Structure 1
Amino acid sequence: MTKKALLLENIHNHAATMLANHGFTVEVANGSLTRPQLQQKIAQVEILGIRSRTKIDRLLIAKAKKLKVVAAYCVGTDQINMEVCEANKIKVINDPFSNTRSVAELVVGAMIVLLRRLTEKNKLLHEGHWQKLTDGYELRGKTLGIIGYGRIGTQLSVIAENLGMRVIFYDKEEKLAYGRAERCQNLETLLPQADVISVHVDGRPENKQLIGKREFLLMKNNAILINTSRGFVVDIKALADCLIQGKIAGAGIDVFPDEPKNNQDVFICPLQKLPNVLLTPHIGGNTIEAQEKIAQRITNKIIEYLCKQ
């Protein structure tokens, strides 16, 4: 009988090649599927590969009579009902390490772009306006506040310190500080000190709107906020209001509460067209190097697991 795998959301082609070499018939989709489409497809496959857009819940698993593995070709598994998968003896595989550097580097790039106000300068030049002003800042000597001191937060901490930044961080759990980084006891201590705030928390429900109006009012008026963690962690409407009012100086946002399901959908957000705002389409981990590593590592885990069954 033919073994089938379904890979969604533009997973790197290494994964399909590796599975095909191990006898699987592989179907690939560049975007996520509609709910009815996925309900139909999932009934026929042993392996389902997804990223962050596809939600795996109890009703979907009920249709998955042949499913053995759900592979999240990304860091988190917030989109998967882990308890239901475990109850149905479906193995969930992810890779929390392969895109760490990619996300950290995006944050560094965003810090430079926003501190130098490059989004505005680029737009003006493309429109034919030459405005040579001294209104940008160096990274060196600035304070970076990291919220969530896990894999990405610690990697960013090391890079930022080597660029001459002072690093402070807050994490609910006790964490070993890297280099000269200083731990803050709470957000109330961290936010007023930081020139740049970068958010790296996980998807647990209590992190919903962790950064809202109250937190923005604690920040410096020239602070920059960067979020590459989860879309629901920042109150986007409150952020837009604070940017318009000049309460903070800029923002770099890579994740959003409501994201398009594919590249053809229209994206709408209150932050659009605001000055000194860098918006990126959830590409923190989307470098060629990271996606190749994720495809290879996760597919190897799938093959290793199935070989033991």
Structure 2
Amino acid sequence: MSEPVRQRVQIEGRQLEVSNLDKVLFPVVGFTKAQVIDYYVRIAPVLLPHVADRPVTFTRWPSGVDGKAFFEKNSARHAPPWVRSVTVPSPGSSRGRETLDMVLLSAVPDLVWSANLAALELHVPQWRVDDGGEQLLPDLLVLDLDPGPGTGVVECAHVAHRLRERLVADGLDPVVKTSGSKGMQVYAPIGCADREHPSRYAKQLARELTGETPEQVVWRMEKALRPGKVLVDWSQNNTAKTTVAPYSLRARPGATVSTPLGWDEVDALRDGADPESVRFGTEDVLARVAEFGDLFDVADRHRADLPEV
């Protein structure tokens, strides 16, 4: 095998090595590693605030999306010394580790470094760490809408609308994004009483929606229950779990992006808009940010305490 073609680049005062820039990582659309790096550099101003102080789990696709992939949490050992890292507990680790050394993406050079590893997807928890690396209480609620067989993003839009109504009634200020794959994710900035509070609240909400429309919604994970229904996955609020970050690429053939939406776009889907209207590639997303700014700006949203459950 030939040696990878490497070159040194200077990004914001940091020197790092990149390799195989012409390698095609998304064959269907001919999207290369150079384009992946370029996208993450250009989207950084709106992406970085959403991953700041959140330990990142990478999904890496070194041979491209048609090859084998792996999740990587214990990633700090690969990182240059200038990339921030944090040691977090790892209870119940399948590899017997008590802790993980995880990366915190804080600046553009960090994104270039991770993109060069073919870390196409960035996944983060709903909590941050403080300056000393201690885990804080969750500051985000997430409800992940996963369409079962026979359903799609339109059905997710109907459920997202109902969730928005319930969250607003509870004093929350929700935002929404595509998963970059088939579904949607509804978030809200929150305060909470303990680490399990968001899961309790989200589970109750998912069960209530299922009880109201059992033919449309399901809250349990069993695959046999899911045809023709949208799963409201409340379990993503477990502090050991992560969800794909806003503006992250997805390892899908079309190089799609998990893209923030306006609630008017959700309403348009409910009214019959083309589902393809909310399927976005990298250039689409960059154009949307230039036009609308960050539609997922939770820092600028009202942060309310979750109701007791």
TM interval, shorter chain, is: under 0.3
TM-score (normalizing by structure 1):
0.27
Structure having the higher helix fraction is: 1
TM-score (normalizing by structure 2):
0.27
Structure having the higher strand fraction is: 2
Per chain length, whose mean CA-contact separation is higher, i.e. which structure has more relative contact order (CA < 8 Å, sep 6+)? 2
